[in-house]
Structure 1
Amino acid sequence: MLEELRCEACGKEATPLSSKDIELLMTEIEGWELIEKEGVPQLEKQFRFKNFKLAWDFTNKIAEMAEEEFHHPSIVLEWGSVTVTWWSHSIKGLHRNDFICAAKCDQLSP
């Protein structure tokens, strides 16, 4: 299972995932959308909460996990929701690390 894996170092020499690999890994995470921003494929999901405090707490959990994995997402915190977006900046695309961290986010959500 993806959430049990650890991120690996991903430098500019790493190869972005192929469309086929992305399609396969998308079946292992639930509710995540494959989006494209400025030509870069990304994973995005909005998590809903009853209030700002619960959303804030979740944001902090994601930040702690991201530091542990040394892989950092875009996080948008709003009243009652948190939108998380993963992609690998160094390769301007998706890497297995993005899917690992998406799966870990799902495990952190209440």
Structure 2
Amino acid sequence: MSETICDLTNRSCKPCEGGTPPLTRAQAGEMMQQLDDGWVLAEDASYIEREFKFKGFAKAVYTTNLACFLADQQGHHPDIRMGWGYCNVRFSTHAVNGLSENDFICAAKLDAMVKTQDG
């Protein structure tokens, strides 16, 4: 599993073009195996989501900032909700109305960044 995650973390997002179909539920399910267990695949396979939990506000802010930095770096922007003790990150690809490989690349990169932050 770690080799595959490494593969995703070493890749970069590609610009999405119209007319590209979203990943099927089966394809998304296969890609989920490459992510941390904290990620959840939506029932309709339209997004992946992870809630990071903390014992305070600061780490939630730091994780939100990591997700924002990653989004800016990759040109692929998640929906983020945060508050005291949590940061919720949801990836989907609006251009395809569902999931693309970019979502999984960003999720794997975010996982790696959070693990580095945790020490």
> TM-score scaled by structure 2?
0.84
The Cα shift of 1:55 comes to 0.8
Residues 80 and 88 in structure 2, CA contact (< 8 A), matched pair in contact too? yes
Q: Does 1:71 align with 2:47?
A: no
RMSD of equivalent CA atoms: 1.3
Residues 55 and 78 in structure 1, CA contact (< 8 A), matched pair in contact too? yes
SS of equivalent to 1:41:
coil
1:7 and 1:26 map into 2 onto residues whose CA distance is 17
Q: Does 1:34 align with 2:34?
A: no
Equivalent residue runs for 1:76-91 within 5 Å: 76-91=81-96
The Cα shift of 1:50 comes to 2.0
**Residue number in structure 1 paired with 2:3:** none
**Structure 1, unaligned stretches of length 5 or more?**
none
**Structure 2, unaligned stretches of length 5 or more?**
1-6
1:67 and 1:87 map into 2 onto residues whose CA distance is 15
> TM-score scaled by structure 1?
0.91
Greater shift after overlay, 47-56 or 68-77? 47-56
Structure with higher RCO (Cα < 8 A, 6+ apart): 1
* Residue-pair matches, total: 108
Write out the 4+ residue segments of structure 1 that deviate beyond 6 Å after TM superposition: none
Q: Where is the helix percentage greater, Structure 1 or Structure 2?
A: 2
Alpha-carbon deviations, 1:55-84, whole Å to 9, x = none?
101111110110010000000011011000
Q: Where is the strand percentage greater, Structure 1 or Structure 2?
A: 1
| Identity level (%) | 35
